[in-house]
């Protein structure tokens, strides 16, 4: 086989070995040989041969007492280097730019600041009537789409004080939200749907917004991707194409940041 042809086809044995590593990453714990083989969709004898080589490289290690396999020290080193080189904001900015190009709506990126969610960047669509988003704006936890995403997926201890402060101020509270229990029910709905969508009673008149969570390699919330539009311009229904695109973009960014949430059973 010529060098050029081999380059096009790749190295199949390496791809098979990577399949075993992916199965072990998805397992999230040390695994028996039969479980690895089943997850990688190959006979145990074949999986064992690959595991022997992976152990020699340091990508896998085996507990001599339990015979279970786990990721090895070199795999950990690769992960740490990748994390160190990963710029989540840069990737987030590219993601909202690509999403803007796809749906032609205003998109934004929000991260968690000292006093709540903060918009770090927004992208303007190519249409005559748009919604401008001010970079650096701190959003309400209960009154904004991005805020509800952080309220829904961040640990309660991190958001409890802000929720109570907003309830006590009574400013821009959603209709029907007056107590901590009401706020918890609202955020539970967001978690159940997977996104936060607000239309009709948004903090700014004539504006509606949808936000989706982005998770990191620890499967913790790290950012929120947001779509903002003129009221009535975004389909807010359960079969909305725009919301589906937002979910897909947020899920893709989460995977790029190392999240395995989509691989977890429901």
Q: Which of 199, 203, 202, 194 has its CA nearest to residue 243?
A: 194
Residues 186, 142: Cα–Cα separation, whole Å: 8
Q: Which of 211, 218, 209 has its CA nearest to residue 250?
A: 211
The topology under which CATH files domain 3-83 is: Arc Repressor Mutant, subunit A (1.10.10)
Q: What is the pLDDT of residues 236-256, one digit of tens each?
A: 887 889 999 999 999 999 998
Residues 134, 203: Cα–Cα separation, whole Å: 14
Kindly tell me if the per-residue pLDDT of 204 is higher than 70. Answer: no
CB under 8 Å to 169, separation ≥6 — which residues?
A: none
Kindly tell me if the per-residue pLDDT of 266 is higher than 60. Answer: no
Q: What is the pLDDT of residues 144-199, one digit of tens each?
A: 999 999 999 999 889 999 999 989 888 778 888 889 999 999 999 999 999 999 88
Residues 105, 210: Cα–Cα separation, whole Å: 11
| The two three-digit tokens of residue 61, written as one number | 């290690």
Residues 250, 223: Cα–Cα separation, whole Å: 9
> What's 86-263's CATH class?
alpha beta
Hey, CA dihedral for 93, 94, 95, 98, is it positive or negative? positive
Residues 256, 215: Cα–Cα separation, whole Å: 10
Residues 160, 150: Cα–Cα separation, whole Å: 11
Q: What is the pLDDT of residues 33-48, one digit of tens each?
A: 999 999 999 999 999 9
Kindly indicate the confidence band of residue 264, based on its pLDDT and cuts at 50, 70 and 90: very low
Kindly tell me if the per-residue pLDDT of 28 is higher than 70. Answer: no
Given this model, what pLDDT does residue 231 score? 77
Kindly tell me if the per-residue pLDDT of 5 is higher than 70. Answer: no
Per CATH, 3-83 and 86-263 having the same topology is answered no
Given this model, what pLDDT does residue 175 score? 81
Domain spans, the chain: 3-83, 86-263
DSSP classification of residue 143 = T
Bridge partners (DSSP) of residue 213 are 224
- Which has the higher per-residue pLDDT, 135 or 129? 135
- Which has the higher per-residue pLDDT, 125 or 1? 125
Given this model, what pLDDT does residue 263 score? 54
Select the highest-mean-pLDDT range: 77-81, 232-236, 238-242: 238-242
DSSP classification of residue 31 = B
CA 247 distance to own-chain centroid: 9
Task: Read off the pLDDT of each residue in 99-113 and give the average, rounded to a whole number.
Answer: 92
| The two three-digit tokens of residue 134, written as one number | 């001010």
| The two three-digit tokens of residue 227, written as one number | 């779509």
CB under 8 Å to 178, separation ≥6 — which residues?
A: 167
Kindly tell me if the per-residue pLDDT of 110 is higher than 80. Answer: yes
Report H helices in 88-179.
Answer: 88-103, 145-153, 156-169
Q: Check if the beta carbon of residue 199 is closer than 8 Å to that of residue 177.
A: no
Kindly indicate the confidence band of residue 131, based on its pLDDT and cuts at 50, 70 and 90: low
């Amino acid at each position: 086989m010529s060098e050029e042809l081999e380059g096009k086809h790749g190295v199949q044995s390496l791809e098979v070995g990577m399949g075993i590593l992916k199965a072990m990453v998805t397992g999230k714990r040390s695994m028996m040989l039969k479980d690895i083989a089943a997850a990688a969709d190959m006979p145990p004898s074949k999986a064992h041969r690959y595991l022997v080589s992976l152990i020699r490289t340091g990508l896998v290690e085996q507990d001599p007492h339990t015979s279970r396999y786990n990721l090895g020290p070199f795999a950990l080193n690769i992960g740490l280097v990748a994390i160190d080189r990963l710029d989540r904001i840069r990737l987030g900015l590219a993601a909202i730019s690509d999403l803007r190009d796809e749906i032609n709506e205003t998109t934004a990126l929000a991260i968690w600041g000292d006093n709540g969610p903060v918009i770090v960047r927004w992208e303007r669509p190519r249409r005559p009537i748009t919604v401008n988003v001010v970079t650096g704006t701190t959003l309400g936890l209960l009154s904004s789409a991005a805020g509800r995403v952080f309220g829904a997926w961040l640990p309660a201890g991190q958001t409890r004080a802000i929720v109570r402060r907003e309830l006590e101020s009574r400013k821009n509270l959603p209709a029907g939200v007056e107590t901590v229990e009401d706020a918890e029910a609202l955020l539970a709905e967001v978690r159940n749907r997977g996104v936060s969508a607000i239309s009709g009673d948004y903090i700014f008149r004539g504006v509606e917004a949808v936000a989706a969570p982005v998770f990191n390699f620890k499967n913790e919330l790290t950012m929120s991707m947001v779509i903002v539009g003129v009221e009535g311009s975004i389909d807010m229904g359960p079969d909305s194409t725009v919301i589906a695109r937002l979910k897909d973009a947020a899920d893709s960014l989460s995977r790029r940041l190392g999240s395995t949430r989509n691989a977890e059973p429901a």
